[in-house]
A and B are shown apart, each in its own frame.
Chain A
Amino acid sequence: MFVSRRGARAALVAASVAIAIPCTAQPAQDPAAAQVLRSEIDQLKQDFNARLSALESRLSALEGAPPAGAAPAPGTPAPAEAAAAAPASTPTAQVPPGAEAGGPSGALPVYGNAAAGSKVFNPDMAAIGNFVGAAGRNTVDPLPALALPETELSLQAIVDPYARADFFLSFGEEGVGVEEGYLTFPALPGGLLMKVGRQYQAFGKANTLHSHVLPWADRPLVTTNLLGGEEPLADAGISVARLIPNPWIFLEATGQVSRGSGNDVFQGTERSDLSYVGHVHGYHDLSESANIDLGTSYAFGHNSSGVVNGVDQGRFTTSLVGIDATFRWRPLQRAIYHSFLGRSEVIWSRRDQPNGQQDANGFYISGDYQFARRWFGGVRFDHSERAFDASVHDTGQSLVVTYWPSEFSQVRGQYRRTTYAEGPTANEFLFQFQFAIGAHGAHPF
């Protein structure tokens, strides 16, 4: 029985050899010839395996995946050596025929591969579009009928174990600017939080907010008149903030030293003409749904009114004092459906200029109510004198409705009535589309 089975196996081998390589077929009965045959088959098998693994690795290189483990073929280095010679994780492409001469030999790295490891370290990127249209009549400060006044590009990432960086580039109709670009050291000794770079000045509340998080399509008159225009007061400098420990409330003090060239408000002509901002901010939870936020700010720097031909002959200065208050209500269990935010800021400006000191002040008060998951309604009342001429003032009233199709886009309509000191009353309808793509980091509270 045993013998016959063995015989059958020999016959089977003979048959398969006869089919596979008929020209080299020898009588199976000859043991020496059988040995030769066996070694030839082994050789063929090895050749086949080598060619198969070569094809597999070419295929996986084309697909961008690391090559599959190749079986060692006679005369080729062992896998470990091969892996050391060419890192398996780098996708490679074959050098085209004829391209070897004078150029790099062997496999070339494939750039632009979606799975390349280096992309892991790319910063979070987002673009936020802000499209604003205006209808109605405004002869004093007219906005274009349709405009994309600002596209914000944000690049945010952790730099190293000690710092993170945030860049906000603003692409406007006049060109590209660095809205903010700063390095943050989140964990310095002594409980300090330091920011270095160009940043919005910590003056009040609205000045620290990017336009896409404001509850309005414009900025309040007090910002335009006393803080130097539609753009927030921003400058290059160093900011240090520290929490003031106490058992009752959250209290934070911030100090900023900057170059002294913030908007039209400050203009330093010498290195020592720095501007200074101080801000103290207190926060308290009234309940789990309601809280109050109070702040006071001070800013000081040289202004441009005494500058003649680039030389500051007058040495005039501007100081600003601000108070801000915010009340928030958001019931936790229905947080996504209802909320209210009431806010007011009062700003005093003292500006020395050749024709004497101008003491101007202004304020806004606003309320925004979220009445459904995607719907918000708001009102704002504005009043502000002008920094250059405190004897005149402007007032404004706004009604705002905002709709959020999703977290990443919003549509807003704002009716704005402005009574300017010098001209007729402007009645305008502003509409705004805002949309964000990419990964935009969350904003501070």
Chain B
Amino acid sequence: MGASKDAVKGFLMSTVKRVLLLCLLMFPLANLAHAQGKLNVVASTEDLGAIATEVGGDRITVESIARGYQDPHFVEAKPSFILKLQKADLLIVVGRELEIGWLPPLINQSRNAKVQVGGPGYLDASMQARILDLPTGQVTRAMGDVHPLGNPHYWLDPENGKLIAKSIAAKLEELRPNDKAVFEQRLADFTTRLDAAEKRWLAQLAPYKGVKVVTYHRSYPNFAERFGLDVIGYVEPRPGIPPTPQHTLDLIGEMKRQNVKAVMVEPYFDLKTPNAIGRETGAQVLVVPPSVGGVKEITDYFKLFDYDVNLIANALKQSTGK
């Protein structure tokens, strides 16, 4: 009797062990991350990923979904992204409905309670930032693909970069209270370095304050505001609507009247229309990456501004002679 009980117990134990072993085998990646104690951070864009890396350092691993040279409005909700979200401890989003076309189905299918909207591992980076183009009055789709919650390209202002870093640090501290001092120190360091760099960038573009430019999409209002550029028009007749011949002609007329020197284009737009506008008006067509990863050499948040500010300053130096 006792022997058979032992046999049953032994069988049960070995079964439980097998099941546990199977479970361990089934979640190898999740366990690896937990063993190292690193937070798995997934950012919807490379910009947020870069800022998260600045704040989190070696205490976190960061993966980004949208590539910097890709239109962040139109990312495909590939199942491979579901796997990234499944393992995430923290999901950082740009918000302001930038990702509305692709992120919700990924979150829904992630099987991860932490990163659901409003969950402990969900952070909307726009909540502290300075948001421009908040619509006043009625919003309709007759205006094109407008963002009713304001312009989501807000990270292109170093001041907002600091605010984004601050909210990321607060979230990381909430998730890993033991590492609070590390995050605080890294945030302070990032802010100091960004302050110094911002002074340099402002000085570089200071001679061109008030220079009139045209951009393809409304991706640069925060950049223009910070560095004193005056955006007088857009290649798109309305947000998200491709250029029309009549609008292009009107824009060329307006640019000639106002002596516009540069057309800023995001790397994911076709250059045919901007080049035609450039030929007609003599303005320079500049492919200005709005994101980290927009070109190979932009590997972090500082290099994003280094690249863009250099590009614009050099172009305006030639055309204005200042």
B57: shortest Cβ distance to chain A, in Å? Answer: 27
Option from B79, B108, B144 in Cβ contact (under 8 Å) with A406: B144
B contact residues around A443 at 8 Å (CB): 105
Option from B67, B71, B80, B113 in Cβ contact (under 8 Å) with A283: B80
B28–A335 contact, CB under 8 A? no
B83: shortest Cβ distance to chain A, in Å? Answer: 6
A187–B144 contact, CB under 8 A? no
Residues 18 to 73 of chain A near chain B (Cβ within 8 Å): none
B contact residues around A250 at 8 Å (CB): 79-80, 82-83
A251: shortest Cβ distance to chain B, in Å? Answer: 9
The reply to whether the CB of A332 lies closer than 8 angstroms to some CB of chain B is yes
B179: shortest Cβ distance to chain A, in Å? Answer: 26
A274: shortest Cβ distance to chain B, in Å? Answer: 25
A416 to B141, CA, bound (A): 34
User: Interface 1/0s, chain A 64-88, versus B by CB < 8 A?
Assistant: 0000000000000000000000000
Option from B76, B101, B111, B268 in Cβ contact (under 8 Å) with A333: B268
A232 to B77, CA, bound (A): 23
User: Interface 1/0s, chain A 336-369, versus B by CB < 8 A?
Assistant: 1100000000000000000000000000000000
B145–A442 contact, CB under 8 A? no
Q: Given A187-B112, A407-B145, verify A336-B102 contact (CB < 8 Å).
A: no
A442–B69 contact, CB under 8 A? no
B105–A442 contact, CB under 8 A? yes
B28–A245 contact, CB under 8 A? yes
A441 to B103, CA, bound (A): 10
A332–B104 contact, CB under 8 A? no
B270–A337 contact, CB under 8 A? yes
A contact residues around B86 at 8 Å (CB): 191, 243
A342: shortest Cβ distance to chain B, in Å? Answer: 16
B144–A245 contact, CB under 8 A? no
A186–B109 contact, CB under 8 A? yes
A283–B79 contact, CB under 8 A? yes
A245 to B83, CA, bound (A): 9
Nearest B residue to A246 via CB reads: B26
Residues 88 to 107 of chain B near chain A (Cβ within 8 Å): 100-105, 107
The reply to whether the CB of A445 lies closer than 8 angstroms to some CB of chain B is yes
User: Interface 1/0s, chain B 54-80, versus A by CB < 8 A?
Assistant: 000000000000010111001011111
A contact residues around B78 at 8 Å (CB): 283, 285, 291, 445
The reply to whether the CB of A164 lies closer than 8 angstroms to some CB of chain B is yes
Size band of the interface chain B makes with A? 35 or more
The reply to whether the CB of A444 lies closer than 8 angstroms to some CB of chain B is yes
The reply to whether the CB of A193 lies closer than 8 angstroms to some CB of chain B is yes
A contact residues around B132 at 8 Å (CB): none
A contact residues around B110 at 8 Å (CB): 186-187
Q: Given A191-B86, A192-B111, verify A373-B242 contact (CB < 8 Å).
A: yes
A contact residues around B79 at 8 Å (CB): 250, 252, 283, 293, 445
The reply to whether the CB of B245 lies closer than 8 angstroms to some CB of chain A is no
A333–B70 contact, CB under 8 A? yes
The reply to whether the CB of B139 lies closer than 8 angstroms to some CB of chain A is no
A291 to B76, CA, bound (A): 11
A234 to B195, CA, bound (A): 59
A406–B270 contact, CB under 8 A? no
A284 to B80, CA, bound (A): 7
The reply to whether the CB of A374 lies closer than 8 angstroms to some CB of chain B is yes
A334–B268 contact, CB under 8 A? yes
B268–A186 contact, CB under 8 A? no
B contact residues around A330 at 8 Å (CB): 76
The reply to whether the CB of B240 lies closer than 8 angstroms to some CB of chain A is yes
Residues 152 to 210 of chain A near chain B (Cβ within 8 Å): 158, 161, 164, 184, 186-188, 191-193
User: Interface 1/0s, chain A 403-445, versus B by CB < 8 A?
Assistant: 0001110000000000000000000000000000100011111
B22: shortest Cβ distance to chain A, in Å? Answer: 11
CB-CB nearest 4 A-B residue pairs: A187-B113, A283-B79, A250-B79, A444-B105
